[in-house]
Structure 1
Amino acid sequence: MIKSPPPFGLPLETCGTGRHNDGRQTMKSYREELWFETKTRRAYLNITPQVEAAVKRSGVREGLVLVNAMHITASVYINDDEPGLLRDYDEFLERLAPHDARYRHNDTGEDNGDAHVKRQIMRREVVVAITGGKLDFGPWEQIFYGEFDGRRRKRVLVKIIGE
């Protein structure tokens, strides 16, 4: 099923049938888009509840979920949802790649060279196992959306495959 483009914050969904012509079960494929627009240039959002909800809607009990930032100045990563750690990340990234004019990318008229570097450090995507219909995390693990050049709409792809 494909729905029209979503209003802010609502997912776009697609789902494979999961059946052979003779009725045998096949691997399912399910896709959703999550949309975010942060009020600040940099932000770190725990998106675990949205991903868990997508897994539930997919009906997949055993499989994998890919969660992928679909913009070159945002990331998806896994870590602990502890406020001090989030501040430490932000300070660390700002020391490594400060928001200033030093980047050659900014010579093109852009001002977000630092955001590209921060995204490269924090990664593009994560893959998490689905076991028994639930995300199979280690202790304290949560999925985060990292925004490094915010204040505009960006999307995250959630792709689920399994049975």
Structure 2
Amino acid sequence: MANNNHTYNESKNNVSCWWVAVTYIIIVGLLISSVPSNMQSSALFSAVKINPPPPRVKALYTANPGTVDDRNHMAASNPKWAQKTITLPPHRRGCHLITPKIVKEIKQDLSEFKCGLAHLFLQHTSASLTINENYDSDVRDDTETFLNKIVPEGRSAPWKHTLEGPDDMPAHIKSSMFGNTLTIPITDGQLNMGTWQGIWLCEHRDAPTARKVVVTLNGI
């Protein structure tokens, strides 16, 4: 009999807890339904909303620009540009080292740059620029031999564009292979190339002609 009473009391307690839970759910539902739909999300979660801290920007230069030294520092840090068109004398067909000529022409402007880039642009479609060995001239001769072997020339060649001779179309192809632009870093007023690197002009036509290179300097 005692066990039956215990079971009855336990069931009664479970029913009471169930009704309390149901009543709580109904009350919460009524409260939520009374809030406009566009405010329910913000009303429920506003308590846990966390605003991110404002971004911190670290100033690279915060000195007072009113002093002479500060103005000079700021002027030296501003990017600057220089540009010059260099005319190269006619070269025979082949690869030629032109670093001394280029450096001589831009030396004065180049000395004003602490850090930057030098961009060289060749204004022609039958010659090219590249960077390669600056010491042994055999490297330049071998490069010319290589180009002539992989780009056929003469009557047996399949080219249609031969208006200016059998070397016409091969010159255009070789120009595209090496390209007509170079970009070289500037460090402390000098072209920052490797010890054995040099700027080459590759002339792909049989008839020598003057070539123009536009050099653009940019940096600080």
Q: What one-letter code is carried by the residue in structure 2 that aligns with 1:154?
A: R
Question: TM-score, structure 2 length as denominator?
Answer: 0.58
Check if 1:105 corresponds to 2:132.
no
Counterpart-to-counterpart distance in 1, 2:153 and 2:214: 27
Question: TM-score, structure 1 length as denominator?
Answer: 0.76
Structure whose CA Rg is larger: 2
Query: Residue 119 of structure 1: SS of its match in structure 2?
Result: helix
- Which sections of structure 2, spanning at least 5 residues, go unmatched? 1-70
Change (3 A) 1:37 1:70: same
Q: What one-letter code is carried by the residue in structure 2 that aligns with 1:35?
A: T
Check if 1:159 corresponds to 2:213.
no
Greater RCO, CA 8 A, separation 6+: 1
Counterpart-to-counterpart distance in 1, 2:83 and 2:97: 19
Name the structure where strand makes up a greater proportion of residues: 1
Name the structure where helix makes up a greater proportion of residues: 2
Superposition pairs for residues 84-95 of structure 1, below 5 Å? 84-95=138-149
Matched with 1:56 is 107
CA RMSD of aligned residues (A): 2.0
Counterpart-to-counterpart distance in 2, 1:47 and 1:61: 23
Shift of 1:53: 2.9
Superposition pairs for residues 57-76 of structure 1, below 5 Å? 57-58=108-109, 59-76=112-129
Query: Residue 139 of structure 2: SS of its match in structure 1?
Result: helix
Counterpart-to-counterpart distance in 2, 1:157 and 1:43: 21
Counterpart-to-counterpart distance in 2, 1:35 and 1:99: 28
Q: Contact conserved, 1:55 with 1:133, CA < 8 A, in 2?
A: no
Single out whichever of 87-96 and 29-38 deviates more from structure 2.
29-38
Matched with 1:43 is 94
**Identity %, equivalent residues:** 24
Q: What one-letter code is carried by the residue in structure 2 that aligns with 1:49?
A: P
Query: Residue 116 of structure 1: SS of its match in structure 2?
Result: helix
1:90-145 CA-to-partner distances (Å, cap 9, x unmatched) read: 10000111332431222xx2320010111111221110000111111123011111
Q: What one-letter code is carried by the residue in structure 1 that aligns with 2:143?
A: Y
